[in-house]
Structure 1
Amino acid sequence: MVSKRICRTVAMAVAVTFGVTVQAQKLDEALGKLGEEYQPERAYLHFDKGAYSPGETIWFKAYLQAGIFPSDISKNFYVDWTDGTGLVLFHTTTPLLEGTAKGSFDIPSTYKGQVIHVRAYTSWMKNFDTVFFYNKDLRVVQAKDAATAVKKTEVNLQFLPEGGDMIAGLKSRVAFKATDQWGKPVFVKGKITNAAGELVDTFKAVHDGMGTVEIETKAGDSYTATYTGADGQPKTVKLPELKTVGATLSVNGYGARRSFLVERTADAPDNFKTLYIMATLQQQLIYRAKVDLTESAAIGGSMPVGNLPSGLVNITLFDANWVPVAERITFVNNHNYSFKPTIEVVGDTRKRAKSFIDIDVPDTVSANMSISVTDLNAGADTSDNIVSHLLLTSDLRGYIHNPAFYFKNESDSLQKYLDLVMLTSGWRRINWQDIANNKMPDIKYRRDSSYLSFSGKVFGATPIQIREAANINLIMKSRDSSTSLNFLPLRPDGSFSDPSMLFFDTLKVYYQFNKIRDMASRVAVSFSNGLLPVPYRIGDLPPVANLVIFDTSGNARIRLLANEQARLTKLLQTTTLEGVTVRSKAKSPMQILDDKYANGLFKGDGYQFDVMNDVVAQSSFSVFQYLQGRVAGLQINNTGTGGQPSATWRGSNTSFFLDEMPVDAQQLSNIPMADVAYIKVMRPPFFGSFGGGSGGAIAVYTRRGGDVKSEPGKGLDSKEIAGYTKFKQFYSPNYAVADSRHEQPDVRSTLYWNPYVLTDPKTHRISLEFYNSDITKKMRVVIEGMNKEGRLVHFEQIVD
C-alpha cells in the first residue's frame, strides 16, 4: 500500500519521543490506521495550453498521488467540464494507469462564456472534503468579448494569529492577508490600535497582500486595524478576541530544522503545565515531544526535518489531556521532490519546419511524462504546475496566488514568503477529537479497486422465474456498429455481471432471457457500468471562478488564430456549397420532436428533453429521477408520502400528463424510461391543466413506431449504457509525406501534444519530432511528469 511506503520514507527522519503515555499510544495507533487505510488522493491536470477559443479541443493528462507516491487506490478518473455557473457541459470518465490518465474535451463552437471550469476527482476523493478536488478555470477567448463594467476593488482584510488564538498577556505573532472580491491579493498598510485608541504597531504587506505584526497583548484589551480602502476612505477590522488563559505555539526556521517556542499564561491551570507536541506529514507521525512548563512559562525546542520528503508538516500542541490547543503548518523543502532528465530541444521556427525533442532519464526508475508545444502567445498559465500543485496547493484550502513562484529557486526570501502562505491558509486538518476516539472518516464511496465493470439486475421476477430463465442473453452494439454476444448467468437475487468487460463510448444492449423468451416484457432490467453518475450541475465553485477576463496580448493572439481558423472553415464551406440556394431555415431537432408529439396548448414554450438520445435518461429509474435538478424552480421529491413522488413549482402542485392525458404521479413514475421518447415541462401557469396550472406541468410522450430503427436485436428490449469516454487522438501533421490535408493553411496554436512519454531502465532515451505551423514564430515547450517513486519534473523552454 502507498501509506506503508510513506512510513518507510518518513522513518528516515529523527522522530523524538518523550513521555509516551497510554493516550499517546492510542493516538499513535489511530493515526497509523488513518494513514494506512484513509490516505486521501491529490490530482493535477497538465493541459496543452492555458487559453482556448470556442470550437477548440482541450487536451489533458492527469496525475494522481496518495501521500508522496503515485496513487494505487483508484482505477477510474472523472472530469466535469462546466460553464461559469456550474452547469455541466460534458463529463469525462477515463481509466487510470499507474496514477495517470488522459482525455480531451471539445469546446462547443457556440459557447459564449469566458471560462470553462474544470473539476476533477476520483470516487475515493468524494469521501473527504470536496474543496480538495482539482479545480481550475480555463480562459475562453471569444471573437469579440462582451463589454464588462469594471467593478471597484473591495478589500477583504483578515488577521490570523499564529497557532490559532491570541492569548492575553502573551506576545502574539499575527499574520494578515488582504484580497479583493475575487480572492486576488491587494497591497495594504495601516495601523493597529488598542481599546483606548493608542497606537500598538503599524503593518504593511510585504508579499502578495500578506505580512505579520507582533502584538504584546494585555488582559482585557482589544485591538483594531485601520487601513485605507479602495475608495480612499479609512476602514477598520477587529482583530480576534483575546483568550484569558492558554498557550501559544510559534515556529521559525528554514532548511534542516524548525525551532519552536511554547509559552503559557502565568495563571494557566494544570492542564497547560504539561504539554505535548506532535508533527505529521501526509498523516504520518514524524515527531513527538513532551513540553514541561511546570517550572517555567516558556520553553523552546528544535525539530529535525532535513531527512523528510518535501511537503506540508502539521505541528499540533496538546494540553496534558491531549486536547489540541494550537496548530501550525510549515513547508519543508528539502529539494528532494524531483527527478532530473536531460532534455534537449532542437527547434526550428521556419514555416512547417521539423523540430526535435530528445529526453534522457538516466535512472533505474520508470518515468511517465506529458509534453505540449504551443505558439508562445497562445495563452500560457505559468502560475501553477505539477510541482507547486501536488506539493503545495492541493493540501491547502482556498485560492493560493501564483504558487509556482515559491519553487523558482532555493533562496531564503522565497522560503520567508512561503511561510506567510502557511500562516494565512487553511489546510487538510486532522480531526484529533475523532482520532482520540478512534473514529475514522465516514466512507460512502468504496475504493475504485477495479476498472469499469458491466453488471445488472432483474426486478419483478420471482425466484422460480429467475431459476428457470438461468441466463440473460445480451446483444451489444457499439456506435461503430460492431456487435458482440454475451450470455451471463443469473444469480438467485436476479443480478448478473461480467467484470472482465471493458468498453468505451456507448453500448446499446438488447436482451432476452434464455428459457423464458417473453419474460423481458414482464420484468424490469437495469444495467450499470460501476461508475459514478453524471452530475447535471455542480455547486460551490471556488471564489476565483467566473473572474472577469480582461484583454491581453495573449488573448489577442488567440483571437487572431481563432478568427483565421474560422475564416478558413467558412471559406471551405462556401466553396463546398457553391451553387446551393437555401430557401428556408432548417428546424432544430427539438422543434422536429415538438412538432411530432405536442398538440394544442402543449405546443407552447417549455423545457424540452430528447430522452431517446440522452444516455443519462436511459440510465435513470424514472421520469422524476431524471428531471430532478434539471428545471430551475421545479421542486421534485422522489420520496413523498407513501413513497409516491411529487412535484411543486412556486409552492403549487405540478400537473402530470402522459401522451397529453392527465395522470397521477404514481402512473408517471411507473413508465419505464426505455418507453419514453420526449419530455416537456411547461412553466406556470399552464392553462392546459385543471384549475389554471399554477404549478406548471410535466408532459411525457411515449415512443412511437417510427422511433425505433431497424438494427440487430430488433424486437428485443434494449437499453443504452455509457462506458469510458472515447479517446481522441491528437493530429500532428507529417509534412515529409504527401497528404491532401497539407494543402490547407496551418494555423494550429498547439503544435504538438503527447500525453504518454514513457521511459524505463532499458528504454531511458526518447526522441520525438513535430512540425511547425505556417504562422508560429516562437514556441513554448512544457514537459511535466512523475516517476514511480513519486518524484516530479516540470520543464519549460522558449524556442525562437
Structure 2
Amino acid sequence: MKLKRSIFLFCSIAFIGMVAFTGREEDPIEKLLTSLQSWAENNPQEKVYLHTDKPYYIVGDTIWFKTYVTIGSKHQLSALSGAVYVELINEGDSIAQSLKLPLMAGMAKGSIVLSDTAIREGNYRLRAYTQWMRNAGPEYFYDRTFSVGNSAANTVFAKIDYIYAKDGEQTKVTALIKYTDQKGEPYADKAVRYELKEGYKSIATGGGKTNESGELSVSLPSSKSEKAGSTYILTRITIADGENVPKSFPIKRASQQTDVQFFPEGGNLVNDIWTKVGVKVVGANGLGVSVQGVIIDNENKEVSKLETKHLGMGYFNLKSEQGKTYQAKITYPDGSVNTLKLPNAVNEGYALSVYNNTTGDTILVRIGAGSSILKKGDQVVSLVAQSEGDLQYAADIHVNKAVTSIPIPSKGLPSGILQFALFSESGNPLNERIVFVQKNDHMDLKVNSSKKEYSLREKVEIELDARDAAGNPLVGNFSVSVINEDVVPSDETTENSIFSQLLLSSDIKGYIEKPNYYFHNPTDETRANLDILMLTQGYRRFVWKDLISNKQLPPVYKAEKLVTNITGKLMTLNNKPVADGKVTLINNKLGLVLDTISDGKGKFKFSNLLITEGIDFTIQGRTAKNSKRLEIQIDKFVEQDATPNINIGDINSDIPKALMASIENSVKQDLDMQKHGRIGRGQHLKEVRIQASKLPKFGNTIHENQADQVFRPDSRQNCGTFKDCLEKMNNNKSVRFDQIMSEDCGPMWVARTLSGDGVYAVTIDGWILESCDFQELLLGDGSNISKVYFVYDSYAMRARLLGGRFGLKPPPVMAIYTKSGNFRQKYDPSVVYYAPKGFASVKEFYVPKYGNNEVNNSLADLRSTIYWNPATVTDKEGKARLSYFNSDNKGTYRVTVEGINADGLLGRQVYRYQVK
C-alpha cells in the first residue's frame, strides 16, 4: 500500500510537470525506501499518554490516571505490548513508586497514593513506558513534572529565587531562600544547615542564619558534571530548640547562563541563497527569553533583524555572501548586549525550505541550489517525507535553477510531525526539515449538561457526543475528570493533553514549554509558532545514515505480553548446562506447583503466567538423577534507570504560593474532620522534625530519599566481589574497608566511613549483624543484592534503622537489602526465590451519593476532584451519559474528557459550569 501511495504521488506530481524521474539501474531512492520500510516494520513506534485527574496534588491525595498506548502514525491503540510501567520519580531522580499495569486493548487505569509517610512537598515526575519503548530510549517516554504541596500541618513555608550576576566570562548564581510561617511572618535569625546534592552525591555543604526577612543566601558552585534537573538543595531550619524542619528545593538551572542557538532551515547556510534561520533563547531557569537583536556582517553592516516573541523562539532571513562572516548582536531583557557568531555558510550545498500552509491543501517545498551546484548542470536529488516510518511522499527532483518548487498535496496526511529529507543522487542525506501537520482529523467531541448553573451537592448529568469530521457517530473509549477550578486553578496551555503528547511531545527530544498552547485553541498565530518550534527543535527517531547503511541495531527489549514467561538455565557448579533436569515452580502465595524439563542447553521455560502484585515463587532444580548439585540461573531484565529531569522550566520554586488555593481547601477539610471527631489529614501529615534531644522508637526502615548515599548493583560494573563493587561505586563518599583480626572469626573486613572515624553497623534485610556474620556475602559476587543505603549524617535516620538500640548517638549504618529479602535463609544454589514485578491492583474512585440516602451529611464535602471515570464508552450513536454529585465548594467546575477510538481518532473537550 505504501508503494502504491508513493506511486500515486509520483504520478500526480509528474502530471503537473514539477518532477522528472530517472531510470537508474540501481536507484538509491529505492534502496532508501526499502530501508525505511524495513525499519518501520521492525521498529513500530509505541507512545504513551497519561490522563490524570488534576494538574497538581497535595500530600495525602491520590493520583487517578488512565494510560493510553498507541502505535504508528495513525495513533491506533497498540496491541503490541501487554504491560505498561508508571513511575513516580522524586526530585533526587529516584523512583519513589513504580506500578506495572495490564494493558487491555492499549489502555490501562491506575492510581498512586501520595502517602504522607513517603512523600513530602516538592516537584515530582510521572514517567510511563512499555518495555518495547525502551528500544527508542527514555527521551520518548511520557515524562511529566508536577508539584506536590504540603498538608495543612505545614508550619514552614519556603520559596527559592535565583540571582544571576556576571563575573567576567562566568555567570555567578546565588540562591535566595526565604522562610515564613503560615501567616507569612518571616523566620528571622534562625540557623539553617544546607547540602547541595546531585542525586545522592553531595556537592557542597554549609550553613548560616536567616536575616530579618527570613532569607538565606547560598552561592551555587559551578560544576561541569552537574546534570540539569537532578540537582537540589536540602536544608534544615531550626525553628525551636532541637526542632529542625527539612525543606528541599530544586536547582532550576538549565545552564550557567542564557543559551542562544541558531538553526538554519534544512541544516545549512548556503551562500547566495535566502535562508530562514531559527533562533531559540533559553534562560538559566529553562524557560524561553524574549530578546531583540540585529545581524551584522564582518564589515559591521546590519543585514537583518531578529526578535524572539514566542517563548524565546523566533527567526530571521539571511542571504549570506561568499567571503563574509556574520554575527548576531543580541539585547537581553536586562539591557545587556552580547555578540554571537552565526554558523558558517557553505559554498556548495542545498537549502531545503518548507512552507506549511495549514489552512490550505498543499505543502510547498523549495530546494535552493548554490552557484557551485548550478555550474555542474542538471542535478538529481531525492525528496522523501515520512511520519513514524510511514512513507508519505517520495520523488526524484531535477535541479537546474536557483530555486525549485515542489507543491505536495496534504490531503490524506495524518496530523503530527512530518519529516522531509533531501538526498543526493548517490543516496547520501543532505538536508532535513520537520513540519507539523495540524488538520481537522480528530474527533468532534461535544460535552453538555442540562443546565449551566447548579447548587451544592446537586446531581449533575453530563452527556458526551462523539463524531468524526463528517458528522458520523463514533464508538470511543474515554476518561473523564471533573475538578473545581476555584480549588485547583490551572493554566490549560501548560498542561499535557492527549493531542500535545501523542502528536508532539512523544516525537521531540528535549523540553517543550507550554505544550498544549498549540492545541487547546488553534489559530493562525499558534500554527505559525508551532512551525517555529519545528524549526528549532530536532527530530531523531532514527539517523538516515545508519538506516541506509543497515547499521540499525535490532531491538534489545522484546514487547512484553499480558502473560509472563519465567525462563532460565540449569547449570552445574562448574557452569556447564544440565540437560533433562527437573525444574519445579512453586507459587508461594497460592501453593500451586508447575514442573518442566530443561533442554539440551540447560534452558527451561514456564509459559503464560499471569502474575499479579505480591506473587512470588520458589524455583527448585534437580538433575535427571535427582541430585541437587546444580545452580538455577533465572533470566531477568535490567530495570530502567531514572533519568535526569529535562523539564527544567516546569519545576516550581514556590509551591506554597502556586498551590495556595488547594492548601487552604485542605486546611478547611482537616478542621472539619477534627470538628466531627475524625482524624484530620493534618494530624497525619506533620513535617518530619529531627529532634536531637530524644529519639522516638522508630522501626528499622527508612525511605530511599532519607539515605545519604544509595548503591544499586550494575551488571556493567567491572568489579569482582560485592566489597569491590561498593568501593568502586560511582562517587563513593561513604565507605572503605579495613581488614582486622578477630578472635572469633580470624581475619575479616569491617566497613568504615570514608573518613575512617566511624565503623558502620551493618543490617541485612532489617537484621543487625556482627561483622563476621556477613563476610561470605561481602566476598561473594553480590548477585543477590538489591540495594544498599548508607546513613551517616542523621542520628535520627541511624536510630530508625537500628531500632533505637544504640542510644542517643548510634553509629553510622550500612543497610543491605537482598533480592530474596531473607539473608538468613540457608544458601542452596539449586533453590532460588524469585519475585517478578506483578500487575498492581486497581482502586475505584469513590463517588458519594446525596439525596434521599445522603451519606456523611454532617461532614463537609471539600473534594477537589469531584468525579473521575476512566472507562466511559460511547455507544453506536456516539453517546454516553454520566452522573455524579457536586461537592460543598462553590466555583467553576471543569469537565475534561479525553479519549480515542479504534481508528486512532483522538478526542479532547473541556466543558465548564457554575456551582453557586
TM-score by length of 2: 0.70
The residue correspondences of 1:670-749 to structure 2 (distance < 5 A) are 673=784, 681=790, 720-736=835-851, 738=853, 741=856, 743-749=858-864
Cα offset for 1:136?
A: 0.5
1:597 aligned partner: none
SS at the partner of 1:28? helix
| CA distance, structure 2, for counterparts of residue 414 and residue 275 of structure 1 | 33
**Count, aligned residues:** 732
Confirm whether residue 557 of structure 1 aligns to residue 669 of structure 2. Answer: no
C-alpha distance in 2 between matches for 1:264 and 1:465? 64
1:356/1:770 contact within 8 Å kept: yes
The residue that corresponds to 1:371 in the other structure is 480
- TM-fit CA distance, 1:497: 4.4
2:901 — aligned with what?
Answer: 787
C-alpha distance in 1 between matches for 2:138 and 2:130: 11
Which SS does the other structure have where 2:844 is aligned? Answer: coil
Taking a change above 3 Å as real, the CA distance of residues 259 and 344 of structure 1, as seen in their structure-2 partners, is same
Normalised by the size of structure 1, how large is the TM-score?
0.80
How far apart are residue 777 of structure 1 and its match?
2.8
| Cα drift, residue 538 of structure 1 | 1.5
Deviations 1:332-352, CA, capped at 9 Å, x for gaps: 22311x122443224664222
Which residue of structure 2 lines up, in the alignment, with residue 691 of structure 1?
none
Within-5 A mapping of 1:540-619: 540-544=644-648, 547-550=651-654, 555-568=659-672, 572=677, 586-590=696-700
Match of 1:243 in 2: 346
Q: 1:565 to 1:720 in 2, by over 3 A?
A: farther
Given candidates 20, 30, 34, the residue that maps to 2:35 is 30
CA 1:628/1:374 → structure 2, altered by over 3 Å: closer, same or farther?
Answer: farther
Evaluate the alpha carbon distance shift between residue 13 and residue 25 of structure 1 in structure 2; reply closer, same or farther with a 3 A threshold.
Answer: closer
Q: 1:96 corresponds to which residue?
A: 103
Cα distance, 1:150 vs. partner?
4.0
CA distance in 1, matches of 2:105, 2:833: 36
Paired with 1:513 and 1:757, the residues of 2 have a C-alpha distance of 48
Name the CA shift for 1:565/1:167 in 2 (closer, same or farther; >3 Å). same
Q: Cα deviation per residue 1:763-794 (whole Å; 9 max; x = unaligned)?
A: 85322211122224321100000100000000
User: How is 1:415-454 mapped onto 2 (pairs within 5 angstroms)?
Assistant: 415-454=527-566
Shift of 1:83: 1.0
Identity over the aligned pairs, expressed in percent? 25
Indicate conservation of the 8 Å contact 1:49/1:380, yes or no.
no
Deviations along 1:169-212, one digit per CA (max 9) or x if unpaired, are: 32221121222223322221111111121111222234333222
The amino acid of 1:758's aligned partner reads: V
- Deviation at residue 485 of structure 1 after TM alignment: 1.8
In 2, Cα distance between equivalents of 1:548 and 1:105? 21
Secondary structure, aligned partner of 1:262? strand
Change (3 A) 1:632 1:731: farther
Deviations 1:714-768 (A, max 9, x none): xx9855443112212211112246476554322211111111112353x853222
Read off the aligned partner of 2:506 and give its amino acid letter: S
Residue 585 to residue 203, structure 1, CA distance change in 2 (3 Å) = closer
Residue aligning to 1:42: 47
What is the letter of the counterpart of residue 902 of structure 2? K
CA distance in 1, matches of 2:630, 2:650: 47
SS of residue in 1 equivalent to 2:866:
strand
The Cα of 1:248 is off from its aligned counterpart by 0.8
User: For 1:783, what is the secondary structure of its paired residue?
Assistant: strand
Q: CA deviation at 1:313?
A: 1.4
2:448 aligns to what?
344
**What SS does the aligned partner of 1:415 have?**
helix
1:699 & 1:390 partners in 2: Cα distance?
42
State the Cα deviation string for residues 684-722 of structure 1 (Å, max 9, x = none).
Answer: 9xxxxxxxxxxx99676999x99999xxxxxx9855443
Partners of 1:11 and 1:96 lie apart in 2 by: 38
- For residue 120 of structure 1, what is the aligned residue in structure 2? 128
Aligned to 2:780: 669
Aligned-pair distance for 1:138?
Answer: 1.2
Aligned partner letter, 2:41 = E
Amino acid at match of 2:267: G
Give 1:32 deviation, angstroms.
1.0
> Which structure carries more helix by proportion?
1
Residue 633 of structure 1 aligns with an amino acid whose one-letter code is: N
User: In structure 2, what residue type is equivalent to 1:139?
Assistant: S
Deviation sequence 1:101-133 (CA, Å, 0-9, x none): 221111132533421111111111111132111
Determine the C-alpha separation between the residues in 1 that align with 2:673 and 2:96. Answer: 24
Instruction: Give 5+ residue unaligned stretches, structure 2.
Output: 14-18, 166-256, 684-693, 713-719, 737-748, 763-768, 794-811, 826-830
Aligned residue runs from structure 1 range 142-291, under 5 A: 142=150, 143=154, 145-152=157-164, 155-254=258-357, 255-268=360-373, 270=376, 273-291=379-397
Residue 463 of structure 2 aligns with which residue?
A: 358
Gaps of 5+ in 1: 478-482, 579-583, 594-604, 612-620, 638-644, 685-695, 710-715
Q: Distance in 2 between matches of 1:634 and 1:777?
A: 53
For 2:512 and 2:141, locate their aligned partners in 1 and report how far apart those are by CA, in whole Å. Answer: 15
Question: Judging changes above 3 Å, is the alpha-carbon distance between structure 1 residues 635 and 132 closer, same or farther for their aligned structure 2 residues?
Answer: farther
1:313-336 Cα shifts (integer Å, max 9, x gaps): 111112222211111111222311
The letter of the residue matching 1:116 is Y
Contact 2:582 2:624 in 1 (8 A): no
- 1:590 aligned counterpart, secondary structure: coil
**Alpha-carbon distance in structure 1 between the residues aligned to 2:159 and 2:625:** 64
- Could you say if the C-alpha distance between residues 591 and 415 of structure 1 is closer, same or farther in structure 2, counting changes exceeding 3 Å? closer
Name which of 877, 883, 892 aligns with 1:778.
Answer: 892
Q: Within 2, Cα distance between the matches of 1:574 and 1:785?
A: 38
Inter-partner Cα distance in structure 2 for 1:35 and 1:426: 20
CA distance in 1 between counterparts of 2:131 and 2:316 reads: 43
CA 1:726 to 1:459, structure 2 compared with 1: closer, same or farther past 3 Å?
Answer: farther
Assess if the C-alpha contact under 8 Å between 2:40 and 2:390 holds in 1.
Answer: yes
Structure 1 equivalent of residue 519 of structure 2: 407
Residue in structure 2 matching 1:633, options 729, 732, 743: 732
Q: Distance in 1 between matches of 2:304 and 2:670?
A: 59
Instruction: Give the AA of the match of 1:306.
Output: K
2: distance between equivalents of 1:171 and 1:752? 55
Greater alpha carbon shift after TM alignment, 254-263 vs 487-496: 487-496
Q: Which has the larger displacement, 208-217 or 777-786?
A: 208-217
Look up the equivalent residue of 1:730 and give its one-letter code: F
Q: Contact 1:349 / 1:776 at 8 angstroms: preserved in 2?
A: no
Q: 1:404 to 1:494 in 2, by over 3 A?
A: same
C-alpha change, 1:130 and 1:759, in structure 2 (3 Å) is: same
Retained in 2: the 8 A contact 1:634–1:647?
A: no
Q: Give the Cα–Cα distance (whole angstroms) in 2 for the partners of residues 342 and 135 of structure 1.
A: 29
Distance 1:706 1:307 in 2: 60
- Alignment match, 1:500: 608
Tell me the amino acid that sits aligned with residue 588 of structure 1. Answer: F
Rate the CA distance shift 1:707–1:655 in 2: closer, same or farther, 3 A.
Answer: closer
Structure 2: how far apart are the matches of 1:737 and 1:13?
Answer: 66
Q: In the TM superposition, what is the alpha-carbon distance from 1:161 to its structure 2 partner?
A: 0.7
SS at match of 2:912: strand
Amino acid aligned to 2:136: F
SS in 2 for 1:589: coil
- Give the Cα separation in 2 of the matches to 1:780 and 1:628: 55
Residues 116 and 137 in structure 1, CA contact (< 8 A), matched pair in contact too: yes
Does structure 1 residue 58 correspond to structure 2 residue 168? Answer: no
The letter of the residue matching 2:80 is I
Quick one: which amino acid aligns to residue 105 of structure 2? E
